[in-house]
Structure 1
Amino acid sequence: MTLFRPCIDLHQGKVKQIVGGSLNDTGAKENFISDYDAAYYASLYREHGLTGGHVIALGKDKENKLEALSALRAYPNGLQYGGGVTKKNAAEYLEAGASHVIVTSYLFEDGEFSWDRLDHIKRETGTDRLVLDLSCRRVGESWFIATDRWQTVTSTEVNHENLTELANHCDEFLIHAADVEGLQAGIDEKLVMLLGQGCPIDVTYAGGARSLNDLKRVHELSNGLVDLTIGSALDIFGGKGVSLEECISWNSGQ
């Protein structure tokens, strides 16, 4: 059954919601900047029993790391962590309280997927605490994994064959549709359908969700096999499309 998965996105040491495709070295187009810190949101999710969410650090700012660590301490084993994860620091985040670490860019060298790097990080995490972030951009009628804050499109396609193979090496997938991330213009329905048909493990989709109806739509398109993260449209992030209370009620009914 499709579930709502919560998120905490960190940029420049603040909890924010941004337009994903705008993220670069100089900044990003911002939809929302919170007055609350990451630990506040982690505690909120813990209070309401929301599981399987993630805290993502967008950028290597020291403040991002401090905020992420505070969120993990506030909700031990309740959040996944992603952002600059490598074989050298994966264990640090797991020991700090992350249920899983989320990895993308580290797995690529010169735009090519590295099986050696995947093996290296699996030795630190095991498959049961590893999430592969296959966030992607659309190229024609296909989707290709995008790294380096979604600015570099790799040669690795998000398709049935690759999803099936990579599923043997991790516990879950996290997939942002970078082209629609933060736009609140609707989900990428074709991508959700592909994920519903081709993922043998748990997968969370993010990008474009704008209302409670999107939870229903993802459920329909994926036969309940894909979960959904809602960011900019959510009331706790300044959105007007859907409330956290509605998402909690949705999960309770599944």
Structure 2
Amino acid sequence: MTFFRPCIDLHQGQVKQIVGGSLNDQGADTNFVSQHDAGYYASLYRQHNLTGGHVIALGPGNQQEVLKALSSWPQGLQFGGGVNRENAAEYLQAGASHVIVTSWLFENDRFSWERLEQIKQETGADRLVLDLSCRRTDNGWNIATNRWQTVTGTAVDAGTLSELSEHCAEFLIHAADVEGLQGGIDQELVKLLGECCTVPVTYAGGARSLEDLKLVDRLSGGKVDLTIGSALDIFGGQGVTLQECIDWNASR
């Protein structure tokens, strides 16, 4: 069964919703900047028992907000953004249920199995989420690192998903090309994930309404969960309300 999963995206020390593909060292195209801090959203999700959500730090300057969120709901949120072997355990101790890692697993744009084993020693596979966020290529989708700006040679396909599923608790997959655009989900990617993933997986990118929860449920056979960001009313969106997502989860 497909569930709604919440998010808290942090950029330059503020809760924001951005256009994912625009993120670079100079900034990003921004859909929404919140007047509330990360702790407010974490407490809101805790109040409604919205589990399995993620806090993502998009670049530097977010540490204080990250810790606010994790302390507001200990063991209730996953954290990703600059996670590596040296700091993974610290975020778990600070209250993250899982840590999410992508870029650190790549050396010179090549996936490092050695690094994967190193971070597993710090977290255990049961508290490790692999972020396989990706961009479309001529042959399908490839993992994108460094705030989705570097497209690696590692494909998001049946082989990769099967192999990596043995080393983690979950996958988080942003479709970077449609992230923040509210133009609809990448239906082909969602279908692939439903067909190939044997561990829990959350898809993010392009969701714009409650109908997208229904669509992801149908396309993935209920195997893929969905994050909705910019379209959500608590982030200034007009496509769907948080209450509708709460009601959806309660009905599952």
Give the letter aligned to residue 23 of structure 1.
L
Residue 110 (structure 2) aligns with: 112
Say if 2:155 is the partner of 1:157.
yes
Compute the RMSD of aligned alpha carbons. 0.4
Residue 168 (structure 1) aligns with: 166
Residue 41 (structure 2) aligns with: 41
Residue 185 (structure 2) aligns with: 187
Cα distance in 2 for residues equivalent to 1:11 and 1:234: 18
Q: CA deviation at 1:74?
A: 0.1
Say if 2:93 is the partner of 1:101.
no
Give 3-state SS (helix, strand or coil) of 2:215's partner: helix
> What is the total number of aligned residue pairs between the two structures?
252
Q: CA deviation at 1:140?
A: 2.0
Residue 15 (structure 1) aligns with: 15
Q: CA deviation at 1:81?
A: 0.2
The answer for unaligned runs of 5 or more in structure 2 is: none
Cα distance in 2 for residues equivalent to 1:74 and 1:224: 30
Give 3-state SS (helix, strand or coil) of 1:67's partner: helix
Show structure 1 runs of 4+ deviating over 4 A.
none
Q: CA deviation at 1:141?
A: 4.3
Residue 32 (structure 1) aligns with: 32
Cα distance in 2 for residues equivalent to 1:111 and 1:142: 18
Query: 82, 85, 92: which one pairs with 1:84?
Result: 82
Give the letter aligned to residue 248 of structure 1.
I
Q: TM-score, normalised by structure 1?
A: 0.99
Give 3-state SS (helix, strand or coil) of 1:102's partner: strand
Say if 2:237 is the partner of 1:247.
no
Give the letter aligned to residue 20 of structure 2.
G
Give 3-state SS (helix, strand or coil) of 1:246's partner: helix
Cα distance in 1 for residues equivalent to 2:214 and 2:139: 24
Identity %: 71
The answer for unaligned runs of 5 or more in structure 1 is: none
Q: Residues 224-235 of structure 1 correspond to what in structure 2 (within 5 A)?
A: 224-235=222-233
Cα distance in 1 for residues equivalent to 2:146 and 2:154: 14
Residue 177 (structure 1) aligns with: 175
Residue 235 (structure 2) aligns with: 237
Cα distance in 1 for residues equivalent to 2:67 and 2:157: 34
Give the letter aligned to residue 41 of structure 1.
Y
Residue 136 (structure 2) aligns with: 138
Residue 211 (structure 1) aligns with: 209
Give the letter aligned to residue 130 of structure 1.
L
Give the letter aligned to residue 15 of structure 1.
V
Give 3-state SS (helix, strand or coil) of 2:70's partner: helix
Give the letter aligned to residue 5 of structure 1.
R
